[in-house]
Structures are given as structure tokens and as C-alpha cells.
Chain A
Amino acid sequence: MNPGSVLEVRNLNVAAENGQAGFALLFRILISIQRAKGEGMMSSRSKPLIEEPKSPETPEEVFHWVQAGRISSDAALRHLNRMDNRPMALTLGRDPSKKDAILTSKERADAVLRELDQLVGLTGVKVLVREMRAFVEVQQRRADFHLPQDPQMLHMVFQGAPGTGKTTVARLLGQLFAALGVLPKGHLVEVERADLVGEYIGHTAQKTRDVIKRALGGIMFIDEAYSLARGGEKDFGKEAIDTLVKAMEDYRGEFLLILAGYPQEMAWFLSTNPGLLSRFPIHLEFPNYNAQELLAIARLMLAAGQYTMTRDAEQGFLKYLEEQQGHWHTNAGNARMIRNFLEHAIRRQAVRLADHLDRVTRQELIQLTWADLEGGL
């Protein structure tokens, strides 16, 4: 029996004699004993702590200690583990920081939408992407209230001529869904026929499954998807389609499939397999750009490379685009065609300036004239 408890017993006797008043006294004495005990323990343990800290505080310190031979690597890992968990515990405990995390996910989604808005034209696409974002957010809110969620499939078909922004939009959608938490990773796996279709019987299903595995958690983007159905009865492309359709059921909600291609070909493709059309509820049209939009694209492209067009170059270019509108070849390439025009114009500008390179001004280096553009049209 230690001296403290002897004292307690004695005090108990005193308390029994003095009745009510004794109880208060007993209480006070007990508390003071407890306090003295605690302080004694603290002081005896904290002394070496002050002289030499028992554990490192930062990861850098851990690495330094390992190097100095003070701790072994497993101890170092334990310390690192503890440090990693600490900030997480803090954020969980505090409300404001948790709110920050939600805000940043919302902000990230906003940033993606802003990026989308910077694309020229594509009004229908922008509206639909906003719809999808709202839908996803409302579904998440419904889940908070324990309401049933609508298990809507978000697989999509992108129809449009080349160079109308299908790949760009798909990439942005991946980022958006990752920000909203629909897809865990949101990466884009771009594939074409050659990545899915194998060389011998039974190879295709295996190959397609491998690609699907890679796309899990993100978006699988099949460009020129109609080519899977091309090639007749014995073609392996059919097998790839069947595997895809099955995977869409097996990995429901784990990845998003986007089929892209030219409008007519896609319409034909969806009609080849009865299960396809109903599995892709969302169809996005990527219309050809009109002359004004093409000019805006040209301005953006030039601005990115620190070039400008003179006023008459712009007018001439617009006039040319308006005249040609509706007469382009179907696969002319829209934005890609504009890029080719501009690249040609830049080359012609270079030839024009190359003669008097020593006298050339900054302004001349930046400006493209109508003469530069005209030659390339």
C-alpha cells in the first residue's frame, strides 16, 4: 500500500467523525493527492523528452535520422505513416476545412466548364454538358436525403465531321466527371479499331477486355467506331462490339463509353446491332462550324502563337469562308482545316520576311497580311 492511499484511509476516518463538513475536506485532500501524483509522473517522464526528442517531427527529419543511423527503416516508415495520417485526422475533425474540400471539387468542375465555354460554337454540347453536371449533382444530393437514385447511363455517341472538337470535349468530360466524383480517375483512353480487333479467332475478346480494364474508372473513347461493324459477316469487329456491350453491363457505372464518328456512318453503325441504340441514350451533335465561328477559331489559334491578322486579311478570310460555306468537302476538317490554312500563311509570311530579316520590326513578325493568307487558300 502506498503512502497516498494510507492518507486517504486516514482522511476517511476523519470524515466519518466530522460528518458533512469532513466530506468537503476529504474531497479537497483527495484532489490534491491526485494532482501531486500526476505531476510527479509527468516530471519523471518528461525530463529525457526535453533533452532529446523521442520522435522526428517532419519527413525530412525522418530521412535525416535514417541517414544518421539513429532509427531503422521500419521505424522510419512508422513515423512517416503517423505523419501522413495526422493532417487527415485534423481535416476530418474540423468543419471549415471539410467545406473547403467540397468547394474545391465544385471549383474544379467550374474550371472545366469555363474551359468548355472557351471552345468556339458547340452551343448544343455546352447545354447538354451543363444538364449532365446538374443531373449528377442533384443525384448526389438525393443520395444525402436517402432518396432513390436514378441509375441513368451516361454512355454517349458523338456525331460530327472531323475537326469539330469531339476528342477535346471527351477529354473535358473526363475531367468534369472526375471532379464531380462520378468517375474515380476520369482519364481518357483513346482507342480505334486496331486496338480492339484481334488477328485470330478468340483474340478479339481478350484484346477488347484488356482495353476495357485500362479504361475502368475513366472514359473509353472509340474514334471512328463504325469501322468495327465494317468488313462483313466474318469480320472480328462484331466480336469486339459484343464484348463491349457485355462490359457495359458488367462494369455498370465504372466507366463511360463514348463512340465517335461521322453522322451517317454512326447512324448506320447503331442500326447494325439491336442492343446498341438503346444503350447510348445521349447523342451529341457536333455541327460543322459556320464562317464566323471558323474565323473566331482562327483568331484563337493565332493568338496562342502570338500572331495577328491585319484588318483586310480578316475581312478577306471571312469573305472566302462565307463563300465556301456549305461547299466544303464533308471531310474538309473544320478546325483542322483552319489550322492548315494558318500554317501555310505563316510559312508564306516567313518567305516574305526572309529577304530583309535584318530590318524587320516586331510588328511585322506578328502580323499576317491578306497576301499571306490568300496564297494558301
Chain B
Amino acid sequence: MEALVIGRPNSGKSLFMVNFVAYLGLKELRLEALDEDGMARRQRIPFDQARRQLVSHVAHKTTNLQSIQVDIVTGRSHRILTLTDSVGLTDEIHQASHIRRSMALTLQQLSQKPLVLHMMDASAGGLPWMNALSLVDDEVARYAGGTCPYVILANKMDCETAKHGLDRIRERFRGYPVIPISALTRRGFRDVKGYILRHWG
């Protein structure tokens, strides 16, 4: 099954993916990156290196779609999850053409109705001076929430401001499932795995 991690820049998509596949039991990252030309490139990276290489505080560290295949063994059956990390979607039109190209690819992935893990930054949502929840979040929820298996992951729950942010997210996206997680401390990963398994299809 295909799962797509989607969200705004710097909401923690890449760190979530790296830590989540580690949680699912992968020993090293077998990354299949789809670069801007739509060409697939395979590489293997050990986890500690992957965190350094793929994750950053600067927005738009991830510039292309990269997916990982994970085997999930449950009972007798043996299933393969393809987890895809995407480029952060912004409200504004981005000035760099390769980012725009990757955004288009992300939307294209989204239109193929995968399981959608919608990443939101709960810690920023708690700060009053920053409107961290944006139009693009609303639109992703409206688009994906109606058609695909869809769940909101309220990330960065290890931050102090996140509690308030989670309430805000719950309020704004009433009716959609919300799982509070922390990609850093791996909180809530069990619920995410359970959700993915329940909506396997």
C-alpha cells in the first residue's frame, strides 16, 4: 500500500519518515528518490547519517519525493508499505522552479488516492503570533479527507506550546482523525501504525 506524508515545510515530515521506518523495524534506509525529472534514484543510507542528511531546520530541505518500502509482518500475511515523503506545500507560489516542480509531483501523488498522513506543526499552532495553520492545510484536509484514508498527525508534541496547538488543530479540523505525535521522541507511532493497518486496502 502507498502512504503519502504531506504537509507544510518544516512540519517534520522527513524526520517522521526516518524515525517511523526505524520504528517499523528497518535496519537501514533504502531510499528511492524521485528527482525533479521524475527519474527514480536508489540509495542506501544508515539511519544516523540519514537524520543528518535528510532533516534540517531550514525549510524545504526535502526537494524531491522520496519513498521507502517497508515490510510489515502481521500474523501470517506479509505486506509492503510504501511510505513517501513529499515536498512541503506552501500557500504562496514558490520562487524556485524545482520546488514548484516537486510540489506538482506531490499533488500528482495525492491525486492517486494513497493513504494520506497529513503532518501539522502543533507547536507553531500554539503560538498566537503565527498563523501556522494555513489555507493549504485546509485544502489538503478537504481534498484528501473526502476521498482517501486520511489522518492528521499533530507533530512536535514534545514542545511546550504544542498542547495548545493540538487543541487548535482539533477545533479547526473537527471531524477528521487527529493523532498527536512527536517525530523526535517517537510518541504516538504505535497509533499511527495501528491506523495504517486498519485502513489497509
Contacts and interface: CB of A to CB of B under 8 A. Distances in A.
B201 A185 contact: yes
A87 interface: no
A74 B100 contact: no
A62 B107 CA distance: 9
Interface stretch (A18-26, A188-196, A336-344, A356-364): A188-196
B111 A71 contact: no
Nearest to B141: A77
Given A67-B100, A78-B139, A81-B143, A72 B201 contact: no
Given A69-B97, A81-B143, A211-B75, A74 B138 contact: yes
A138 interface: no
A64 interface: yes
A74 B88 CA distance: 12
Contact of B91 (A63, A69, A74, A189): A74
Interface residues of B, number: 37
Nearest to B96: A69
Contacts of B75: 189-192, 195, 211
Interface string A277-309: 000000000000000000000000000000000
Contact of A187 (B91, B108, B200): B200
Nearest to A214: B197
Interface residues of A, number: 31
B93 interface: yes
> Which of B92, B101, B107: most chain A Cβ within 10 A?
B107
Contacts of A62: 107
Contact of B201 (A71, A187, A190): A187
Contacts of A192: 75-76
> Which of B77, B111, B146, B197: most chain A Cβ within 10 A?
B111
A63 B108 contact: yes
Given A74-B136, A78-B139, A213-B194, A191 B76 contact: yes
Contact residues of A: prevailing secondary structure: helix
B59 interface: no
B104 interface: yes
Contacts of A78: 139
> Which of A62, A64, A69, A210: most chain B Cβ within 10 A?
A69
A303 to B, nearest CB: 28
Contact of A69 (B77, B93, B194): B93
Contacts of A190: 75-77
B147 interface: yes
30 contacts: A59-B108, A63-B105, A66-B103, A67-B101, A67-B103, A69-B97, A69-B100, A71-B93, A72-B93, A72-B136, A73-B103, A73-B136, A74-B89, A74-B91, A74-B134, A74-B139, A76-B107, A77-B139, A77-B142, A78-B139, A80-B107, A84-B146, A185-B201, A190-B75, A190-B76, A190-B77, A191-B76, A210-B194, A213-B194, A214-B197
Interface of A: 59, 62-64, 66-74, 76-78, 80-81, 84, 185, 187, 189-192, 195, 210-211, 213-214, 216
The list of the 3 closest CB pairs from A to B, nearest first, reads: A77-B139, A74-B136, A67-B104
Given A77-B139, A81-B143, A191-B75, 8 more contacts: A62-B107, A63-B108, A69-B93, A72-B91, A74-B138, A210-B194, A214-B74, A214-B200
